[in-house]
Amino acid sequence: MAIQTVLAQRDTKPIPQDNKMEWWRNARFGMFIHWGIYSRFAGEYHGIRQQGAGPEWIMNLMKIPVQEYVDTAKNFNPTKYNPDAWAKMAKDAGMKYLVITTKHHDGFALFKSNASKWNVVDATPYGKDLIEPLVKACHKYGLKLGFYFSQAQDWVNPGGGVGPKKASKGYANPDSAKIDAFVNANNGHWDVAQTTANYDEFLDKVSIPQLKELMTNYGKVDILWWDTPATTNLQQALRLEEPLKLQPNIIVNNRVKKPYERGDYKVAEGKVPAVAELDGGNWEACATLSSGWGYLTPKYNGYKSHESLIRMLIDIASKGGNFLLNVPPTPDGEFDAGSQATLKAFGDWMKKYSVSIYGTQANPLKEVSWGRITAKGDNKGTNLYLSVFNWPTDGKLKLEGLKNKKLSAKLLGTNTPLKIEADGDDILISGLPATAPDKIASVVELRTPEKLKRTFKATKIGYFTG
């Protein structure tokens, strides 16, 4: 299908909320991508390592003057960018959707925009829209597509919010006192160029027009990922939401304004909530596979273990959530070796055990000390997937709360049938091999004719209705 045809296609009729969210709940796993001008800095400014938040915050934390930061775009030329390779790696890792930072807090748009020249086409030697070919690649590999969009913060376009932080937070700036005095007097801005418009003017001239461009120019958009609403009030949030009517079935997170009361799902950033914090609504945890959301130079970067990340996916699924794993590309547009190794590890595990993740619901039983449990029901009963982190030395797993005698169990991967016996009010699954088939997490499938589902309180979150 020609890219022009793909870009022209988008939904025009809304579907019911539950139907709209079905694919998202079934997916459970997606890729997050933070990429932009900040990738050029890679966590360092004039030889000084940035402190504080992630490298995508370097302009704010290091108080880089607007013109100096804008001039950096002259060196942004990602000639190794291969969106087809990105999408294929996401698919091979077992991911079902992809969310990219079309514009982060520095205001730099990865797409052609008529609302501001601060975009990849007009401000860089690369001179081409980065989003359009990624749309085509996602369609090719069957991935749903999401746009992260910093609707409130914008550190280059005048009037944008700034998320005020002290100058000393980024590094021991000798001019901290002077900078902070200006910041305190100018609602967090550190450069006079940021103060030549107010927030409502910024929304009308930049943010809302760019949202319209994103909702119009790229065909169907499956997710809109708001971030850091700053001072956005309800009336301003309603204005920001207006362009989303162009995509009536778009799924939206809950960060358009504070308190976080609007949206289709909640976001837990950098952590997995405890069960007690959940209420049965739609939720997503996002985390990055390395030390930063944006790219960091190798001397500062550190990669999380494959075991910890894969177990995080399992933990999230066992609580009824989705996992959005961030992969930060290099300034040249590649996924580095550490990122590729992590994606391959996910792919290897998902090839064997994805049935325990896709389309599953939260654990309907009591929590277990040896791993996590997901569930998948049908008209005839429930499959329970027991992901074992701590392999039992005696070859037995204990489960509380299951008394049905018509139970069956097998070890996924080998399909070895397992023995089930009563243990008072509980059951014991025995016959497991002496060593775990998978060092990260082996999975036992347990079948029961009971229809089991976790009982939660009613969800508290509101839904975007267009």
Which pLDDT does position 33 carry in this prediction? 98
d(CA 76, CA 98): 23
Write out the two tokens for 436. Answer: 């775990």
Tell me what the pLDDT averaged over the chain comes to.
93
Taking residues 390-402, what's their average pLDDT? 93
Which pLDDT does position 290 carry in this prediction? 95
Which pLDDT does position 456 carry in this prediction? 57
Question: Is the confidence at residue 460, as pLDDT, over 70?
Answer: no
Which pLDDT does position 9 carry in this prediction? 66
Taking residues 9-38, what's their average pLDDT? 89
Taking residues 399-412, what's their average pLDDT? 89
200 touches 236 (CB < 8 A)? yes
Which pLDDT does position 226 carry in this prediction? 98
Question: Is the confidence at residue 268, as pLDDT, over 60?
Answer: yes
Report residue 458's pLDDT band, with 50, 70 and 90 as the boundaries.
Answer: very low
Select from 3.60.10.10, 2.60.40.1180, 3.30.750.24, 2.40.110.10 the CATH code of 371-448. 2.60.40.1180
Which pLDDT does position 93 carry in this prediction? 98
253 touches 284 (CB < 8 A)? yes
pLDDT in tens, 143-190: 999 999 999 999 999 999 998 788 988 888 889 999 999 999 999 999
DSSP letter at 354 equals G
Q: Which residue has the higher pLDDT, 13 or 211?
A: 211
d(CA 437, CA 419): 17
Question: Is the confidence at residue 6, as pLDDT, over 70?
Answer: no
DSSP letter at 274 equals -
195 touches 158 (CB < 8 A)? yes
Which pLDDT does position 163 carry in this prediction? 85
Which pLDDT does position 265 carry in this prediction? 96
Taking residue 86's Cβ as centre, other Cβ atoms within 10 Å add up to: 26
Taking residues 360-371, what's their average pLDDT? 94
Point out the least confidently predicted range of 14-23, 90-99, 176-185: 14-23
Conformation bin of residue 320: beta by default, left when phi > 0, alpha when psi is -120 to 50: left
Question: Is the confidence at residue 463, as pLDDT, over 70?
Answer: no
CA dihedral defined by 92, 93, 99, 100, rounded to 10 degrees?
A: -80
285 touches 272 (CB < 8 A)? yes
How far CA 306 is from CA of 85, 89, 349, 439, in Å, comes to 21, 16, 10, 11
Taking residues 50-74, what's their average pLDDT? 95
Report residue 405's pLDDT band, with 50, 70 and 90 as the boundaries.
Answer: confident
Which pLDDT does position 457 carry in this prediction? 52
The helix (H) or strand (E) run that includes residue 137 is: helix 131-140
Question: Is the confidence at residue 269, as pLDDT, over 50?
Answer: yes
DSSP letter at 305 equals P
Which pLDDT does position 461 carry in this prediction? 38
pLDDT in tens, 301-326: 999 999 999 999 999 999 999 999 99
d(CA 254, CA 241): 12
Question: Is the confidence at residue 328, as pLDDT, over 80?
Answer: yes
Residues 6+ apart with CB under 8 A from 460: 279, 281
Pairing of strands 397-400, 426-430: antiparallel
Q: Report the predicted TM-score, pTM, of the whole model to 2 decimal places.
A: 0.94
Which pLDDT does position 384 carry in this prediction? 97
Report residue 282's pLDDT band, with 50, 70 and 90 as the boundaries.
Answer: very high
Hey, where are the domains in the chain? 3-356, 371-448
Question: Is the confidence at residue 98, as pLDDT, over 60?
Answer: yes
Which pLDDT does position 8 carry in this prediction? 55
Taking residues 329-352, what's their average pLDDT? 98
Share of the chain above pLDDT 70, in %: 95
Q: Which CATH class is domain 3-356?
A: alpha beta
Taking residues 36-64, what's their average pLDDT? 95
